[in-house]
Structure 1
């Protein structure tokens, strides 16, 4: 009898993690004091790790409705694509957000289509990305740029936003060896940085180049979290306790704040979330106290 109840329990957990929780999308809200004195507040929508497949209609509806939120800037930290045919539905559901100012970097899944693999491998090691079929990355990034979003893949720029002069820098995905910090110079202007994967080497490099606010994704918040223990992995060298949310960092006397979004999706070959709801982050950046 005990074995029957155990089987029922495991089945219930599997149904919750595979069918229910990974579609319980949530907006997590936070205020961070990081802007220079006298700056106006900036409402930032951080979105990433969408991993969109064409049949994911509820995810597409959630993304379309995000534009109803008070947003001054969209920060997209990559891994938008989860299927070779995902670009048309991705651009359709992002269209309302693409009418707002935005910046973006790519993740590995914006270059390579997902391939079948053991889902457990994600939890127990930092998984390599199989070099599978190439996706139409330029088609996606060109659409973003035509809408006015700024491409920060190993690039930097300065813009006026909500009355604030801000420098933005970013790197392409370090997880697949596409990052190039040498392209980014240091600056005294208040700087916001983007990276898909929050490897410590990248956090250090961005902080030393003046970034005071860093946005990242990639970790899926651990994707599977356990009570008390939390995330089992970040799929990088970032410590597990920083798998999602906000944390402070210091490198050689320079400080930065890191925001890691748990993302909205997962590989179609690892369709599970447990104690880790899919999310976007709506962050109000405020002047320092």
Structure 2
């Protein structure tokens, strides 16, 4: 086997170091700010129903100085969704509430539902990234965040807090039964407070949770919810081409780390890859920050007994 000369070894080492630095620079400076709008069609409505446009936003992890993100989120108002759903982790700074409210200002005038995540309650803290490979690692919490102020601002504009609440709403002429839980990542979920089948008179049922933990998804599916929305995973945040996400930071498998899938025989699951990152881990690779416009359409009159995920179509479009 040929042996590299010291000069060749230095060149190889410098090349590898340069590639690593370039990759870190791209992930930190470019991709984490390369916001994208994902568009997905889900056949979950009753036959004959008109379509419904739902904007799913999650994991803003906002700090006051993130002007580019704030401007991009403000442009989402131009999509004119029928319903906005926010699945938490809006904050990453003690003074971020005004930035979040201003960024969402146009969308707050539309019907909206929300639940909170761990980083609405507690500020992010530095942590060893390898801990994400251990699902049972010890949780370390930062200083409390002003989630009550954010909740008040959302509620004042008409959005409904679904934390351990069931609520029937009517959007676009469609009656929707909804229910949500507090963040399972912090083990604050109390599904028993909303347990039971959704209102049978509703034409659609939607469940909300921040972290898509299987124990909670199983309960929504058993109760017969048509659609469950979640965030938290950041789509893996660091992904490998041809392999995908390395970790999910929760109990679901890597194949469901972002986008639409089935959970059980009837329930559709949509996991948002989110729009932000922790300030202590400000990078994304092969996993652009996203919001999702879900177009809900009528399901076929007869569904096959087994469905491996057909009927879900997804495309991406960079927002203006």
Same fold judged by TM-score > 0.5? yes
1:214 equivalent to 2:228? Answer yes
Find out whether 1:47 has 2:57 as its counterpart.
Answer: yes
SS of structure 2 residue aligned to 1:211: coil
The structural deviation recorded for 1:128 is 4.8
Aligned residues: 285
Aligned equivalents of 1:30, 1:63: Cα separation in 2: 18
Partner of residue 317, structure 2:
none
Pick from 268, 271, 283 the counterpart of residue 257 of structure 1.
268
Aligned to 2:154: 144
Moved >6 Å (runs of 4+)? none
- The CA deviation string for residues 123-154 of structure 1, in whole angstroms up to 9 with x for no partner, is x2335542221111111011111111011011
- Evaluate the alpha carbon distance shift between residue 80 and residue 128 of structure 1 in structure 2; reply closer, same or farther with a 3 A threshold: farther
Partner of 1:268: 279
Cα deviation, residue 119, structure 1: 3.3
Equivalent residue for 2:47? Answer: 37
Question: Which of 288, 294, 298 lines up with 1:287 in the alignment?
Answer: 298
Asked if 1 retains the 8 angstrom alpha-carbon contact of 2:53 and 2:296, the reply is: yes
Structure 1: segments with no counterpart, 5+ residues: none
> Which of residues 211, 227, 239 is equivalent to 1:197?
211
Q: How does 1:59-138 map to 2 (within 5 A)?
A: 59-122=69-132, 124-126=133-135, 128-138=138-148
Tell me whether 1:56 sits opposite 2:66 in the alignment: yes
CA contact (8 A) 1:39 1:287 kept: yes
For the aligned residue pairs, the C-alpha RMSD in angstroms reads 1.2
- State the partner residue of 1:234: 248
Structure 2: stretches of 5+ with no match in the other structure: 1-10, 301-320
> Match of 1:164?
174
Which of 12, 15, 18 is 2:25 aligned to? Answer: 15
SS in 1 for 2:54: strand
3-state SS in 2 of match to 1:28 = strand
Q: TM-score, normalised to structure 2's length?
A: 0.87
Q: Return the index of the structure with the highest Cα Rg.
A: 2
Tell me how far apart the structure 1 counterparts of residues 69 and 214 of structure 2 sit (CA, whole Å).
31
Return 182-191 or 275-284, whichever deviates more.
182-191
Q: Cα offset for 1:72? A: 0.5
CA–CA distance in 2 between the matches of 1:135 and 1:204? 30
